[in-house]
Structure 1
Amino acid sequence: MVLLRDEQGTAPRDVVALAEVSKVHGGRVRALDGVSVAFTRGTFTAVMGPSGSGKSTLLHCAAGLDRPTSGRVLLAGQDIGALREPRLTAVRRRHVGFVFQAFNLVDALSVWDNVLLPQQLAGTRPDRAWAGEVLARVGLAGREKARPGELSGGQQQRVALARALAARPEVIFGDEPTGALDLATGREVLRLLRQCVADLGATVVMVTHDPAAAAWADRVLFLADGRLAGELHEPTAQRVAARMMELTR
């Protein structure tokens, strides 16, 4: 992958870093409270916590989809809080891929056109050879002309993952990417995310409620009441579930 270089010409080790980030909704609800965390290049991190703990808010602030009330967010070495919206959108399109629980595909477009759409909207020339390779990697070679409605839920999520990868992002953010899938299909999507880290050097940050899904990650971050509540490295589903039980008591 082509890695962003900082001003000294070296690739920043942390693709995303949050420093004392807080987010207050409506002037009263504190969704994040002074969170500092970094996501290192080529790693897979799962984010877990009870309902309302700030998981999705953390992901949205880290991805530049939402601006923190205070604190700093560095994305690919840039302080995105200081960027105006057009520049922020450009940085996000260049460095970030998204995979959500809702596949967010355009039903009227083919698989091929869905995969290329973000690059076309960004005004960049799509790398068609790479897009074809990505579709092959996610097991959809030969389905380029199909419409989303002709695919299973798992196949649609693979299209969404291919769309995220087609722009060669440095970080992929997933918000419950397996939440709408059956067990076997969800496991396949997690395997593909794992391959993105191992084979492509991507960074994956995934919000999930499922301890079995979190066990695919290198580490699990836990949130509670908008604050970091610990982390696990080399997690297992059993250890993750036990920690979640502690947080919900």
Structure 2
Amino acid sequence: MVVGMGLVPDVVSLTEVTKVYAGRVRALDRVSVGFGRGSFTAVMGPSGSGKSTLLHCAAGLDLPDGGRVVLAGQEVGALREPKLTAVRRRHVGFVFQSFNLVDALTVWDNVLLPQRFAGTRPDKAWAREVLQRVGLGGRERARPGELSGGQQQRVALARALAGRPEVIFGDEPTGALDLSTGREVLGLLRGFVDSSAATVVMVTHDPAAAAWADRVVFLADGRLAGELASPTAELVAARMTELTR
């Protein structure tokens, strides 16, 4: 079963991907799925269905035990460090539930940190524009501890976008936020997809969050369990109820 692979080349594609942990736990079982340029995909499924493993394999954070992962035209399994790290830093942005900001650094330095690690000259004008877009213009000198949880997640989003990645991966990016702030972050992700043709792949457990996406890909027991185009919160919730019976 292949989901999302069409005539337009995907920014990220997984073909027959299998991942096994501890020699016996099959987290992914021959999963084939593609994520096209300028698309917003939510990944959902019951606990233990393989959502985070799918995200980590797609992003090159973890290598599959079988199958192929192609990220921005590069086959992940064929790359060795530090080439794999260079591909991730050039093409990928990450937004996770825990923010992963460096408390000792200012907002500005947190946003530019991945580019400095990559040894590239930061595009400071774009970084300032991104901070403006996420509502943090003027807070460049603040430190994470001086910000609310929602503001810290906006810093994490700005950091992910500052390098102009082709694809942004989010693992429960709104899971630690209140409803209103979560909607604001989802609106920002939606806006960046629509305005810059970025690709967003987001793991979530929340049907309302998934409704911001163009489609939802469902997993169950490490296997694809279908997809839903133009999702609504009600349709997603109904499908999730079916999967957890």
TM-score range, shorter chain: over 0.9
Q: Tell me which residue corresponds to 1:121.
A: 117
1:154 to 150, 153, 162: 150
Find runs of 4+ consecutive structure 1 residues off by over 3 angstroms.
Answer: none
Post-superposition CA distance 1:105-131 (Å, at most 9, x none): 000100000000010011111010010
Please tell me the root mean square deviation across aligned C-alpha atoms, in Å. Answer: 0.6
1:86 to 82, 87, 91: 82
1:15 to 11, 16, 22: 11
Rounded to whole Å, the distance in 1 between the matches of 2:104 and 2:53 is 31
1:57 to 53, 59, 65: 53
How far 1:13 moved relative to its partner? 2.7
Rounded to whole Å, the distance in 2 between the matches of 1:107 and 1:200 is 30
Q: Tell me which residue corresponds to 1:210.
A: 206
What pairs up with 1:1-249 in 2 under 5 angstroms?
13-249=9-245
Rounded to whole Å, the distance in 1 between the matches of 2:54 and 2:81 is 19
Rounded to whole Å, the distance in 2 between the matches of 1:208 and 1:218 is 14
Q: Tell me which residue corresponds to 2:4.
A: none
How far 1:16 moved relative to its partner? 0.1
How far 1:43 moved relative to its partner? 0.3
Rounded to whole Å, the distance in 1 between the matches of 2:157 and 2:81 is 25
Q: Tell me which residue corresponds to 2:5.
A: none
Rounded to whole Å, the distance in 1 between the matches of 2:177 and 2:212 is 16
Rounded to whole Å, the distance in 1 between the matches of 2:171 and 2:230 is 21
Q: Which amino acid aligns with 1:180?
A: A
Q: Between Structure 1 and Structure 2, how many residues are aligned? A: 238
TM-score by length of 1: 0.95
Rounded to whole Å, the distance in 2 between the matches of 1:150 and 1:198 is 31
How far 1:85 moved relative to its partner? 1.7
Rounded to whole Å, the distance in 2 between the matches of 1:79 and 1:67 is 11
Residue ranges of structure 2 left out of the alignment (5+ in a row): 1-7
Post-superposition CA distance 1:154-193 (Å, at most 9, x none): 0000000000000000000000000000000000000000
Q: Which amino acid aligns with 1:189?
A: V
TM-score by length of 2: 0.96
Post-superposition CA distance 1:17-64 (Å, at most 9, x none): 000000000110000000000000000000000000000000000000
- SS of 2:139 mapped into structure 1: coil
- SS of 1:84 mapped into structure 2: coil
Rounded to whole Å, the distance in 1 between the matches of 2:116 and 2:208 is 36
Q: Which amino acid aligns with 1:76?
A: A
Aligned residues with identical type, % of pairs: 82
- SS of 1:85 mapped into structure 2: coil
Rounded to whole Å, the distance in 1 between the matches of 2:194 and 2:9 is 16
- SS of 1:33 mapped into structure 2: strand
How far 1:196 moved relative to its partner? 1.0
Rounded to whole Å, the distance in 1 between the matches of 2:238 and 2:108 is 42
